């Protein structure tokens, strides 16, 4: 892995920090454990493919265990097995709308056919003509096409009439109905808050009618996020105040527009409106009222928070300015979310594919209906749990690799005195150090998050299964445990991120880095509250700005379709996507600020500006320290409360 010896386990309690001087492998046993775990994940995929699951998944199989599109071997004690389906390449369900909502599968006989019926077949005569013309028999193998209209078996072994028009699913060779209205019952079971079918249909029609607007608004949120990242790079000094003013104007403007639209639509005449459009108008009016009230409450709460934080906002400007310089010197940081998202999508695609393989692997058994199903028996049936743990651990590992990469690049920038001596691509240099030295540390940190996340997910599953059955005390205890585990997960994630920064600085193992980072954070607890938290809050305002801008554009565009479209769901989809996009981009900036803060705290603790112990920090941070010291002295004269607030800002550099 690029090194020959591991880091020494013995660490001095008074150890000196030597940024970027020594590099050694960290947490090698955890890297070996992670590699073995990944080999186990590969074994699950290989086992499912080797037992024929891949062919059964892609080509499909009928109710007698025959794989479509190939010659099959006879299964013991199972009738109609071992047939030659070389020319029958598609799976056809006799009753595709007979859904088992509990087990999430189709409760219908499946046959291998030569072609899917492209047009609706209303009678058995139509089914017979289709079989004679296309050579595709849609009834059971025991019935000849000439007997479809003659035998009494047709009611049980022929498709349910009328046979809906269907088309093969690409790559998976299943005949799926072209009109998916028969799956409405399944959708209604998932959307539990919909009690009226007409409401569900209006919501779905609203999404389908507004799909172009939704795609355009999603693209707008992506563009706004990129623009905000560029603005952060160049105007970080005034960014805080610009964001504050824009959020104030945006929240006031959005609230005012919502109330204006509500008043306008309420006063609009409705005498000539047809009943269906009247119902849509009432739904939109009700949605506008809810949005307007929610926006008003949100605006009031936002103003109160900003009023409390107004004195601390100026303290983040220095870190924001340095973070802007980091993005100027490290432009590839902006694209970091894309690579992480791409890696996650590839892994999730592999995971879902293997999950589908597991659903069709195992030995053939007959169910109570006499149909063949494939089930795993013995110890191998617990591969599901292993696969689920792999989803969480490897996903957390990929996210942790991003954190370590960003931390390594920012640490290189901070602790390089002459910025002209930076590596040509600090991001790639950080990735190289991660792969050569610190994959074990990332594996250990992500495993700790996995250990906390799995119990929380189990409790959430139990809570969902017992909904309406448990008593109030049990429900309260479950929710309390879930909340506590969620808080623990967030705390550990924050500590992990700082531990990765400490590892990037001093090349120590995870436990040592976590301990060192924790000590630094505890010593600078008020700094964390006054600088780091305020910085996160300002980035949250940036996310709010993007969501409000996208949502306001959505309101104005969807307002033109209010007469024939329910745009509640489209607007929710757009706002959620805008928040996710803004979070992905601004989380990188938030990560940079967190790393810079820890580097700054270490710098002020172990250096005092004297010869041989010069500060690494940027001039802007030096000015910030001096201004904080002066403000502390002035506050000491004016009031003790302000003095206590400003003291942590300058205490670390009091000897400078």
Complete DSSP assignment for 117-135: --S-B-SHHHHHHHHHHH-
**Residues 517-530: b if buried by 16+ CB within 10 A, e if exposed:** beebbeebeebbeb
Residues whose CB is less than 8 angstroms from the CB of residue 258 and which lie 6 or more positions away in sequence, other chains included: 288, 291, 292, 295, 555
Pick left, alpha or beta for residue 158 (phi over 0 → left; psi -120 to 50 → alpha; otherwise beta).
beta
If you search the block for the tokens 């659903």, which residue do you land on?
359
Residue 372 parent element (H or E): strand 372-375
**Residue 142 token pair:** 């025991």
Q: For residues 140 and 111, what is the distance between their CA atoms, to the nearest angstrom?
A: 7
pLDDT: is 334 or 350 the higher one? Answer: 350
8 Å CB contact between 41 and 394 = yes
Within 66-151, strands assigned E span 90-93, 99-100, 105-106, 110-113
**Closest alpha carbon to 439 in 119, 38, 47:** 38
| 103 or 65, greater pLDDT | 65
Rounded to whole angstroms, what are the CA distances from 3 to 150, 331, 430, 513, 574?
A: 79, 29, 16, 20, 48
Interhelix angle 472-506/568-606, nearest 10 degrees = 50
Residue 12 has pLDDT above 70, yes or no: no
Sign of the alpha-carbon torsion through 389, 394, 397, 399: negative
Cβ(141)–Cβ(111) under 8 Å?
Answer: yes
> Would you call the peptide bond into 162 cis, given omega within 30 degrees of 0 as the criterion?
yes
Q: Is 80 exceeded by the pLDDT of residue 131?
A: yes
Which are the contacts of 275, defined by CB distance < 8 A and separation ≥ 6?
A: none
Helices first, then strands: H and E counts in the chain: 21, 8
Cα angle 368-373-376, degrees, rounded to a multiple of 5? 115
- What percent of the chain has pLDDT above 70? 75
Looking at residue 588, its pLDDT comes to 85
Crossing angle for the helix pair 197-209 and 275-309, to the nearest 10 degrees: 70
Question: What 8-state DSSP symbol labels residue 8?
Answer: P
**Average pLDDT for residues 458-485, to the nearest whole number?**
79
Give the number of other CB atoms < 10 A from CB of residue 399: 18
Is pLDDT of 359 > 90? no
Cα separation, 130 vs 322, in Å, equals 72
Nearest to 569 by CA among 170, 211, 278, 105: 211
- The conformation of residue 610, written as its DSSP 8-state character, comes to S
Q: For residue 259, give every residue at least 6 positions away whose Cβ sits within 8 Å of its Cβ, in sequence order, or none.
A: 292, 296
Beta bridge partners of 105: 100
329 in Cβ contact with 25 (< 8 Å): no
| pLDDT tens digits, one per residue of 191-234 | 333 334 444 445 555 555 666 777 888 888 888 887 877 777 66
Exposure b/e, 39-66, CB count within 10 A at least 16 = b: eebeebbebbbebbbbbbbbbbbbbbbb
Measured CA distances, 334 to 407, 529, 585 (Å): 14, 26, 7
**What is the model's pLDDT at position 273?**
53
Q: Is the pLDDT of residue 613 over 80?
A: no
For residue 233 the two structure tokens come to: 């790079």
Res. 651 pLDDT band, cuts 50 70 90: very low
Distance of alpha carbon 241 from alpha carbon 316, whole angstroms: 11
% pLDDT > 90, the chain:
14
Tell me which DSSP letter residue 112 carries. Answer: E
**Burial letters 628-646, b for 16+ CB under 10 A, else e:** bbebbeebeeeeeebbebb
Segment among 490-494, 505-509, 620-624 with least mean pLDDT: 620-624
pLDDT band for position 406 (50/70/90)? very high
| Per-residue pLDDT tens digits for 289-308 | 888 888 888 888 878 877 77
pLDDT of 170 higher than 60: yes
């Amino acid at each position: 892995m690029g090194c020959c010896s591991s880091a020494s386990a013995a660490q001095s309690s008074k150890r000196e920090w030597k940024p970027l001087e020594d590099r050694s492998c960290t947490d090698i046993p955890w890297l070996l454990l992670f590699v073995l775990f990944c080999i186990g994940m590969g074994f699950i995929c290989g086992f499912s493919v080797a037992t024929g699951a891949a062919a059964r998944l892609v080509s499909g199989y009928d109710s007698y265990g025959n794989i479509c599109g190939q010659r099959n071997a006879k299964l013991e004690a199972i009738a109609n097995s071992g047939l030659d389906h070389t020319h029958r390449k598609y799976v056809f369900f006799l009753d595709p709308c007979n859904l088992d909502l509990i087990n999430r599968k189709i409760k219908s006989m499946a046959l291998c056919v030569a072609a899917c019926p492209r047009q609706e077949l209303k009678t058995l005569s139509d089914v017979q003509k289709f079989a004679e013309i296309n050579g595709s028999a849609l009834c059971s193998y025991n019935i000849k096409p000439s007997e479809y209209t003659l035998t009494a078996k047709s009611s049980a072994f022929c498709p349910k009439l009328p046979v809906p028009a269907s088309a093969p699913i690409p790559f998976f060779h299943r005949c799926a109905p072209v009109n998916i209205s028969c799956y409405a019952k399944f959708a209604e079971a998932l959307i539990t808050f919909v009690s009226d079918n007409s409401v569900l249909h209006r919501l779905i029609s609203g999404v389908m009618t507004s799909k172009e607007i939704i795609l355009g608004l999603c693209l707008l949120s992506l563009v706004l996020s990129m623009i905000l990242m560029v603005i952060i790079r160049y105007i970080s000094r005034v960014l805080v105040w610009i964001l504050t003013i824009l959020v104030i104007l945006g929240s006031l403007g959005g609230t005012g527009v919502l109330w204006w639209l509500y008043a306008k639509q309420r006063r609009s005449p409705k005498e000539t409106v047809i009943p269906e459009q009247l119902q849509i108008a009432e739904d939109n009016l009700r949605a506008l009222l809810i949005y307007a009230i929610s926006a008003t409450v949100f605006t009031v709460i936002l103003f109160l928070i900003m009023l409390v934080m107004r004195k601390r906002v100026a303290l983040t400007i220095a870190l924001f300015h340095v973070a802007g310089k980091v993005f100027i010197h490290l432009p590839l940081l902006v694209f970091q979310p894309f690579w992480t998202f791409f890696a996650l999508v590839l892994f999730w695609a592999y995971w879902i594919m293997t999950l589908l393989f597991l659903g069709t692997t195992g030995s053939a058994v007959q169910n109570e209906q006499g149909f063949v199903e494939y089930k795993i028996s013995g110890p191998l049936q617990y591969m599901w749990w292993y696969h689920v743990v792999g989803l969480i651990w490897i996903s957390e590992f990929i996210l942790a690799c991003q954190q370590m990469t960003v931390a390594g690049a920012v640490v290189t920038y901070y602790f390089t005195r002459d910025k002209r001596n930076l590596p040509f691509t600090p991001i790639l240099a950080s990735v190289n150090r991660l792969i050569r030295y610190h994959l074990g540390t990332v594996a250990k940190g992500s495993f700790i998050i996995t250990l906390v996340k799995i119990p929380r997910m189990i409790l959430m599953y139990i809570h969902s299964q017992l909904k309406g059955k448990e008593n109030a005390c049990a429900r309260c205890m479950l929710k309390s445990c879930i909340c506590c585990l969620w808080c623990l997960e967030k705390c550990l994630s924050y500590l992990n991120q700082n531990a990765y920064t400490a590892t990037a600085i001093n090349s120590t193992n995870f436990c040592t880095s976590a301990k060192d980072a924790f000590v630094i954070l505890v010593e600078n607890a008020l700094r964390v509250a006054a600088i780091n938290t305020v910085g996160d809050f300002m980035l949250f305002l940036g996310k709010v700005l993007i969501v409000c801008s996208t949502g306001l554009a959505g309101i104005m565009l969807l307002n033109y379709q209010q007469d024939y479209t329910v745009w509640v769901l489209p607007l929710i989809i757009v706002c959620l996507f805008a928040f996710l996009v803004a979070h992905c981009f601004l989380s990188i900036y938030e990560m940079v600020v967190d790393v810079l803060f820890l580097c700054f705290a270490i710098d002020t603790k172990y250096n005092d500006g004297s010869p041989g112990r010069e500060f690494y920090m940027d001039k802007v941070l030096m000015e910030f320290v001096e201004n904080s010291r002066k403000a502390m002295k002035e506050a000491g004269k004016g009031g003790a409360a302000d003095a206590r607030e400003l003291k942590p800002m300058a205490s670390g550099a009091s000897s400078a």
